[in-house]
Amino acid sequence: MAQRTFTDRWLRSVGPFDKTAEFVDFACPNLWVRIGKRRKTFSVLIGPASGRRRLSIGHYPTVSLSDARKKASELLADPRAAGGGRPRSGGRTRKGSVRDLFEFVITAMENEGKDASVPDYKLYLLDGQDAAASDFGPSMLARNVTPEMVTDWLAKFHDRGRSTRLPRAILSAAFNRGIKADNDPTQKKNRKILFAIERNPVASVGGPTQSNTRDRSLTFDELVQFLGALKAGDIPGLARNALQLVIAMGGCGLPK
C-alpha cells in the first residue's frame, strides 16, 4: 500500500500491474484504488478499526475520481454506513471540511452585504454542475486540497472553452478567507471549527489570472483619443477631474 494524492492524470497513466497494487488517497481519507492487469477499482474503508469493512465504489474511469471522492465522503459521513461516530459537540476540535469552508465563506459574504457576488460563489463552490465541493468531495478536509486537484478542476472549464479566471479567483478568495478565519483574534473564542489550512492551493496553479477584456492598458492612440475627449468637455466635470487625476497618478502627462 502506498499513500499519495490521486489525480486524473496519474490514474490514467499508472499501471497495469501483473501483481495487484493498492494506493490510498491522501486527499480523501480511506479512499483506495486497486490496480491490476485489467481494472482500476475504487473502494472505501468504513467503520471503526475493530470492525472496518471495505465497500466497492466502482471502476475507473467509468466512475470518475471526483465521483469516487464524493461517494467516499458520503459513506464516511453517514453514521449508519460508518458504524456511528458523530463529531463531538463543544470545543474547537473539529477540522473544517470543503463544505464547511465554502458555507462559511458564503455566509460571511452575506453578512458583509456582498450580495452581488454571492450567486457566483454558490455556483462555483457549492451548487453548480461543476462546483468545487462536488469535485473535491464535500466531506474532505479543506486543508487537504492540493494544487493538482485545483488544476484538474479548472481544466474542466478550459476544456469546454470557458474562462478559468472567475472560478480560479473565487476559489482562491475562499481559501484566503479560511486561512484568515483561523487567525482572527476577534472571533477566536466563538469558532468551533478550525480549517488548519497552511497555504492556499490555488496560489501555485499556472494559467491566466486575468480576463481578456478590461484588464489591459490603453494603447498610445487610445490614450490620445481619450485625453482629447476630456479636453473637449465630452465627459462631465467631476468625472473628468477624477479621470485626469487617475491618469496623472499613473505617470501619464496630460496635454496643456
C-alpha Rg value of the chain to the nearest Å: 24
The CATH number covering residue 64 comes to 3.30.160.390
45/124 same-domain check = no
pLDDT at 169: 92
75/103 same-domain check = no
pLDDT at 171: 95
Q: How many CB atoms lie within 10 A of CB 148?
A: 17
pLDDT at 49: 62
Cα separation, 199 vs 177, whole angstroms: 11
108/74 same-domain check = no
pLDDT at 46: 80
Cα separation, 1 vs 15, whole angstroms: 14
Terminal-residue alpha carbon distance, the chain: 75
Q: How confident is the model at residue 173 (pLDDT cuts 50, 70, 90)?
A: very high
The model's pLDDT over 83-96, given as tens digits with 9 standing for 90+, comes to: 444 444 444 446 78
Least-confidence region, from 1-5, 132-136, 190-194: 190-194
Residue 208 belongs to some domain of the structure: no
Range of the domain at 29: 2-82
The model's pLDDT over 218-229, given as tens digits with 9 standing for 90+, comes to: 666 667 777 777
Longest dimension (CA), the chain: 84
The model's pLDDT over 107-127, given as tens digits with 9 standing for 90+, comes to: 999 988 888 889 999 999 998
The total domain count for the chain is 3
**Residue type at 95?**
K
Residue 242 has pLDDT above 80, yes or no: no
Residue 254 belongs to some domain of the structure: no
Share of the chain above pLDDT 70, in %: 73
47/98 same-domain check = no
75/135 same-domain check = no
Residue 47 belongs to some domain of the structure: yes
Of residues 249 and 170, more confidently modeled: 170
Q: How many CB atoms lie within 10 A of CB 243?
A: 15
The model's pLDDT over 28-55, given as tens digits with 9 standing for 90+, comes to: 878 899 999 889 999 988 876 666 778 8
C-alpha cell at 248: 496623472
Q: How confident is the model over 169-183, as a mean pLDDT?
A: 91
pLDDT at 198: 84
pLDDT at 236: 65
107/184 same-domain check = yes
Q: What angle do CA 34, 40, 44 make, to 5 degrees?
A: 50
Residue 125 belongs to some domain of the structure: yes
Q: How confident is the model over 18-29, as a mean pLDDT?
A: 87
